[in-house]
Amino acid sequence: MSVTAIKEYVGVPLDVVANFHGNQLLYVAWDRHLMYAAPGIFGAAPGMKFGDFVAQTLAPIYQGHPDAAQIDWSKTEWEKGDKPWTPDFARTVAENGLVHKEFLRFRTPGLNGYMGAGI
């Protein structure tokens, strides 16, 4: 039973992509950088180049971090849904196969947070 109820019950999901006015959601975490307490939630147009998403939406969030200036985005390593994944920065969000509410996590090799402590 998908819910304990007195009769057949079907829930209405509140966060389907149709509710986002043409955008979709992406969730992104910077691995080993817990200065940012949780993965971020971001809106993105499916037709936006992934590189533009990174440069315009993602990077500004992290600019206060001591490691931020040294991030080489071309060397970042990514996971999608907790599995290894390689983005194509020149292609769009949709062309990269990123669906609504996709969870991404990126690593910045050599940058392990403030004092190397994962912060």
Partner 1 sequence: MDMKVDKKLSLKDRYRHQTRGLGWETTYQPMDKVFPYDKYEGIKIHDWDQWEDPFRLTMDAYWKYQAEKERKLYAVLDAFNQSHGHLNVTDARYINAIKIFFSAFPMLEYTAHRGFSMAGRQFRGVGTRVACQLQSLDEIRHAQTQIHTASNYNKYYNGMHAFTHQLERMWYMSVPKSFFDDAITGGPFEWMVAIGFSFEYVLTNLVFVPFMSGAAYNGDLGTMTFGFSAQSDEARHMTLGLECIKFMLEQDPDNLPIVQAWIDKWTWRGTRVLALVAAMMDYMLPKRVMSWKEAWEIYFEQNGGALFKDLERYGIKVPDCVAQATVEKEHISHQLWAAMYQWNFGTAFHTWIPSPEELDWLSAKYPNSFDKYYRPRWELWAQMEKEGKRHLNTGLAQLCQVCQYPMIFTEPDDPGKLCHREVDYKQEKYHFCSDHCQHIFEREPEKYVQAWLPMPQFYQGNCGGGGVEEFFKWVHLVPGQDNMDFEGSQDQQNFARWKGMATSNQ
Which residues sit opposite 26 in a β-bridge?
Answer: 42, 102
Residue selected from 12, 69, 74, 84 as contacting partner 1 according to rule CB under 8 A? 12
Query: Three-class SS string for 76-112?
Result: CEEEECCEEECCCCCCECCCCCCCCCEEEEEECCCCC
- Token pair, residue 60, equals 């500004």
Give the shortest CB-27-to-partner 1 separation in angstroms.
4
- Token pair, residue 3, equals 């819910």
Binding part of the chain for partner 1, among 10-18, 45-53, 68-76, 85-93 by CB under 8 A, reads 10-18
Residues that bind partner 1 (CB under 8 A): 1-6, 9-16, 19-21, 23, 25, 27, 29, 31-32, 34-43, 60-61, 64, 66, 81-82, 99-103, 105, 114-115, 117-119
